[in-house]
Amino acid sequence: MFKKNPLRKRQHTGSLIGIIVTIIIYCILPLKPAEDLLSLGPMNTGHEGLSCNACHTDAKGNLVQQIQSNIAYAVGMRKKATDFGTENVDTKKCLECHDRPNDRHPTHRFLEPRFKEAIASINATQCETCHREHNGTRVVLKNANFCMNCHYDLEVKNDPIDTPHATLIANKQWSTCLQCHDFHGNHIYEVADRLKDTIPLQQIHAYLKGGLDPFSSKKKHLPLSEEEWIALKKDYIDVQK
C-alpha cells in the first residue's frame, strides 16, 4: 500500500494553515476595531475621530489591474506608477478638507520663484513638512523659528508693538513671531501691542505639540467633519462621471 511522504504531508498541512490564517487576517484587519493594530501611531490633534479610510482611500482599479500597471511602469511601458492598495496621502489629499480661501500661508503660495531659497531650507509646499500624521501632535518641527526663512528682511511701517520688529529680527528672536501671529491665520483674536502681553512661548510650544489652543476658541473657518468630507467627495466623484 502506498504511504504518503510525511514531509509532503507537513507541507500540505502548513500550506492549508497559511491559507486559513491569511483569510482570517484579510477578514479581520478591515474591521473598525482593528484600526489601532494597523496605525503607525496616535492620530494627530483634531484627527482623533477620523477612520483610516478618511485619508487612506482605495486606489483606482482592482488588485490585478494595479499589479499590471506597476509592472508596465517598471519595464518602461507606462509613464507613471499607480497607487497600490490605497491612494497616496499627499498634500492634495490634505487640502480636500483643509483648503480655505483665507489661509495666509497656503501651500501653493510657496511655488512662487521668490520663495526658492526658503524652500531649500523648509519645503512649505508640502503639508507633511510640518504636519506628519500618526505623531499625536499638531506640528512635528522642534523649533518655532521657521518664520526666519522668509521674513529675515521684513520692514514694518508704523510698528505697533513696543519692541520693534526690526529689533526682534536683529536679535534673531524668531520664536516670538507665533506669540502674536497665527501662521495659517484662522484664529479670531486681538494682537497685543506690548511684547509682555503676547502669548507666552511655553503655551505656543505646548499648542504645537497638541495642547490647548492659546490663540482663540473662535475660528474663521471650521474644518469639515468626516461625514461632510465623505459627502463632498461623493459629489465630486459623481460630477467627474
pLDDT in tens, 107-158: 999 999 999 999 999 999 999 999 999 988 999 998 889 999 999 999 999 9
Please, what is the angle between helix 91-98 and helix 226-240, to 10°? 110
Model pTM score: 0.70
Residue type, 235: D
- For 34, the grid coordinates are 482593528
For residue 187, the cross-strand partners are 219
Which of 146, 218, 217 has its CA nearest to residue 183? 146
pLDDT at residue 101 greater than cutoff 80: yes
First to last CA, the chain: 65
pLDDT in tens, 41-79: 888 888 888 888 888 888 888 888 888 888 888 888 888
What is the Cα–Cα distance from 62 to 97, expressed in whole angstroms? 26
pLDDT at residue 27 greater than cutoff 80: no
Whole-number Cα distances in Å, 231 to 72, 87, 96: 34, 18, 12
DSSP characters for 85-119?
SB----HHHHHHHH--TT-SS-GGGGGSGGGHHHH
Half-sphere exposure of 165 (CA within 13 A, CB side): 18
Spatial CB neighbours of 130, under 8 Å, sequence gap ≥ 6:
124, 139, 140, 141, 146
Which of 152, 93, 146, 155 has its CA nearest to residue 123? 146
Q: How many CB atoms lie within 10 A of CB 76?
A: 7
pLDDT in tens, 185-238: 898 888 889 999 999 999 999 999 999 999 888 888 877 666 776 676 666 556
What is the Cα–Cα distance from 198 to 209, expressed in whole angstroms? 19
Spatial CB neighbours of 226, under 8 Å, sequence gap ≥ 6:
49, 50, 51, 54
Spatial CB neighbours of 181, under 8 Å, sequence gap ≥ 6:
147, 191
